Amino acid sequence: MQVLRPQSWHEALAARSELPGATPVAGGTDVMVAMKLRHFRPEVLLDLSRVSGSERYRIGPDSVHCGPRVCHTTVAERLHRQLPGLALAAGSVGSRQVRNRGTIGGNLGTASPAGDLHPMLLAAGADVELSSVRGSRWVPADGFYRDGGGTVLGADELITAVRVPLAAGPQRFQKIGRRQGLVKSLCSFALTLDRGQRRIRAAVGAYGAAPVRLLAAEQLIEESRVLYGAGTLPAALVAEFGRLAATATTPVEEGAEAGYRRRALAVLAARNLTQAWAMFLAEGHDGHHRDGQRQDP
Amino acid sequence: MTAQGIGTSPARTDGPAKVSGTFVYSSDLSAEDMVWAATLRSPHPSALIRSIDTTAALKFPGVLDVITHADIPGRKLFGQMKVDQPVLAEDRVRHHGEAVAVVAAVDLETARAAAGLVHVDYDVRPPVTDAATALDAASDPVHPDGNLVAHTRIRRGAAQSGELPAADVVVRGSYSLGMQDQAFLGTESGLAVPTGDGGVELHIATQWLHVDQEQVALCLGLPPDKVVLKHAGVGGAFGAREDLSLHVHACLLALRLNRPVKMVYTRTESFFGHVHRHPAELHYEHGATSDGRLLYVRADIVLDGGAYASSSPAIAGNAATHAVGPYAVPHVQVDARAVYTNNPPCGAMRGFGTVQPCFAYESQMDRLAAALGMHPVEFRQRNALREGASLPTGQVLDSPAPVAELLERLRGLPLPAADPAQPAHVARGVGYAACLKNIGFSEGFDDYSTARVRLEVVDGALLATVSSAAAEVGQGVVGIQRQIVATELGVHRIEVRQEDSRFGTAGPSSASRQTYVTGGAVREACRRVRADVLALLHESGAELPSPSWQLHEGAVVDDAGRPVARLAALLGGRVIERTAEFHHRKTFPLDPETGQGNSSMQFGFAAHRAVVEVDRELGLVKVIDLAIAQDVGRAINPEAVAGQLRGGTVQGVGLALLEEIELDGGRVLNPSFAGYLLPTMADVPPVRVEILERADPHAPYGLRGIGELPSISATPAVAAAVRAATGIDLDRVPIRPDHLLAGLPDPAQQ
Amino acid sequence: MDITVTVNGKTHDRLDDEDGPGESLLFLLRERLGLIGPKNACEQGECGSCAVWLDGVLVNSCLVLSAQADGCSVRTVEGLASDTAGPLETSGASRVPGTSGALHPVQQAFLDTGAVQCGFCTPGMVVTATDLLERLPRPSDAEVRREMAGNLCRCTGYQQIVEAVLLAAERMAGPASPEVGRP
Stated as kind and residue range, the H or E segment containing B270 is helix B267-273
Residue B92: partners with Cβ closer than 8 Å, 6 or more residues away: B46, B47, B48, B49, B125
**Do the Cβ atoms of A47 and C62 come within 8 Å?**
no
Interface test with B, best of A96, A182, A237 (most B CBs within 10 A): A182
Find which of B19, B238, B651 to mutate to test the C interface (most C CBs within 10 Å of its CB).
B19
Give whole-number Cα distances, A294 to A99, A173, A269, B524, B696, in Å.
19, 10, 16, 61, 53
How near does any CA of chain B get to the CA of A285, in Å? 21
Q: Are residues C140 and C108 in the same domain?
A: yes
Tell if the CB–CB gap between A182 and C131 is shorter than 8 Å. Answer: no
pLDDT at B471: 98
Q: Is the model's pLDDT at C88 over the cut of 60?
A: no
CB atoms within 10 A of CB C4: 13
pLDDT digits (tens, 9 = 90+) for B391-436: 999 999 999 999 999 999 999 999 999 888 899 999 999 999 999 9
**Nearest chain A residue to C61, by CA:** A97
Q: Tell me which of A96, A182, A183, A295 to substitute to probe the interface with C (most C C-beta atoms closer than 10 Å).
A: A96
C70: CB partners within 8 A, 6+ apart:
A5, C1, C2, C3, C4, C5
- Taking the CA of residue A216 and the nearest CA in chain B, the distance in Å comes to 14
Chain A CB within 8 Å of residue C94 CB: no
Residue scoring higher pLDDT (B465 or C178)? B465
pLDDT digits (tens, 9 = 90+) for B613-652: 999 999 999 999 999 999 999 999 999 999 999 999 999 9
B72: number of Cβ within 10 Å: 21
Say if CB B433 and CB B713 are below 8 A apart: yes
Provide the CATH number for the domain around residue C97.
Answer: 1.10.150.120
**Interface confidence: ipTM more than 0.85:** yes
C105 and C40 in one domain? Answer: no
C126 touches chain B (CB under 8 A): yes
**C15 pLDDT exceeds 90?**
no
Query: SS3 of C129, please?
Result: helix
Of B617, B674, B683, the CB nearest to A267: B617
- Please give the domain boundaries of chain A with CATH numbers for all domains: 171-293 (3.30.390.50)
Answer yes or no: do C51 and C114 share one domain: no
Could you tell me the strand order of the sheet in which A171-176 lies? A171-176, A187-194, A199-205, A212-213
Which candidate from A3, A37, A94 shows the least CB-CB separation from C67?
A3
Chain A residues lying within 8 Å of B680, measured CB to CB: 179-182
Query: Of C51, C59, C65, which has the smallest distance from its Cβ to A25's Cβ?
Result: C65
Exposed e or buried b per residue across B409-427, where buried means at least 16 C-beta atoms within 10 angstroms of its C-beta = bbbeeeeeeeeeeeeeebb
> In this predicted structure, what is the pLDDT of residue C179?
46
How far is the C-alpha of A292 from the C-alpha of A273, rounded, in Å?
A: 13
- Report chain A's mean pLDDT, rounded to a whole number: 92
pLDDT of residue A74: 98
Q: Does residue C182 belong to any structural domain of this protein?
A: no
Domain boundary residue, one of C34, C50, C77: C77
User: Do the strands B732-733 and B169-177 form a parallel or antiparallel pair, or are they unpaired?
Assistant: parallel
**Whether C43 and B639 lie within 8 Å, measured CB to CB:** no
Last residue of a domain, one of C29, C59, C77: C77
Q: Is residue C144 part of a domain?
A: yes
Nearest in space to B621 (alpha carbons), one of B662, B658, B647, B651: B658
Contact C151 A95 (CB under 8 A): yes
My answer on whether C88 and C167 are in the same domain is yes
* β-pair partners for B200: B194, B227
Residue C175's pLDDT is what? 59
Residue among C147, C159, C161 with most chain B CBs within 10 A, to mutate: C159
Tell me how far apart the alpha carbons of residues B80 and B85 are, in angstroms, rounded to a whole number. 10
Q: Looking at beta carbons, which residues of chain A come within 8 Å of B613?
A: 297
- Residue A148 CB burial class (10 angstroms; 0-12, 13-18, ≥19): exposed
- Cross-chain residue pair B746–A263, CB shorter than 8 Å: yes
Provide the terminal-to-terminal Cα distance of chain C, rounded to the nearest Å: 45
The DSSP bridge pattern shows strands A158-165 and A63-66 to be antiparallel
CA distance A160 to A13: 10
Judge whether C31 lies within some domain: yes
Residues C63, C31 share a domain: yes
Number of domains in chain C: 2
Query: Taking the CA of residue B644 as centre, how many other CA atoms within 13 Å lie in the half-sphere pointing to its CB?
Result: 31
Residue C69 lies in a domain: yes
Residue A196, burial from CB neighbour count under 10 angstroms (0-12, 13-18, 19+)? exposed
Chain-chain contact of A182 with B680 (C-beta, under 8 angstroms): yes
Among candidate residues C57, C77, C97, the one where a domain is terminated = C77
Query: Across the interface, do A179 and B674 touch by the CB < 8 Å criterion?
Result: no
Q: Based on the domain organization, do C163 and C85 belong to the same domain?
A: yes
By a Cβ cutoff of 8 Å, what residues of chain B touch chain A? 266, 268, 423, 426, 613, 615, 617-620, 622, 657-658, 672, 674, 677, 679-683, 736-738, 741, 746-750
- What letter would DSSP give residue B683? G
Contact between B27 and C107 using a beta-carbon 8 Å cutoff: no
Is the same domain home to C131 and C49? no
Which residues of chain B, if any, have pLDDT below 70?
1, 750
Contact B697, B587 (CB under 8 A): no
CB C169 within 8 A of CB C129: no
* Domain contains C132: yes
What domains appear along chain B, each with residue ranges and CATH number? 26-125+188-264 (3.90.1170.50), 280-442+590-741 (3.30.365.10), 448-583 (3.30.365.10)
Cβ neighbour number for residue C64 with a 10 Å cutoff: 28
Q: Verify that C95 and C158 share a domain, yes or no.
A: yes
Comparison of pLDDT for A295 and C121, the residue scoring more: C121
CATH of residue C38: 3.10.20.30
Q: Do residues C90 and C21 share a domain?
A: no
Residue numbers of the domain that contains C17 = 2-77
E-assigned strand segments in B31-112: 35-41, 47-53, 63-67, 77-78, 85-86, 92-93, 99-105
- B 101-120 near C (Cβ less than 8 A): 107, 109
User: Is C6 a domain residue?
Assistant: yes
C114 touches chain B (CB under 8 A): yes
Q: How far is B711 from chain C (nearest CA, A)?
A: 11
The low-confidence residues of chain A, meaning pLDDT below 70, are: 283-297
B355–chain C nearest CA distance, Å: 18
Residues C57 and C14 in one domain: yes
Contacts of A214 (CB under 8 A, 6+ apart): A202, A203, A204, A244, A245, A248, A269
Residues 6+ apart with CB under 8 A from B419: none
Q: Does C123 touch chain B (CB under 8 A)?
A: yes
Same domain, C88 and C169: yes
C-beta atoms surrounding A18 within 10 Å: 12
Task: Output the CA torsion B204→B208→B209→B210 (10° steps).
Answer: -160
Residues C94 and C61 in one domain: no
Residue C179 within any structural domain of the chain:
no
Q: What is the dihedral of CA B24, B28, B31, B36, to 10 degrees?
A: 160
Domain-embedded: residue C183: no
Q: Which three-class secondary structure state does DSSP give residue B275?
A: coil
| Contact flag B738-A259 (C-beta cutoff 8 Å) | yes
Chain C within 8 Å of B254 (Cβ-Cβ)?
Answer: no
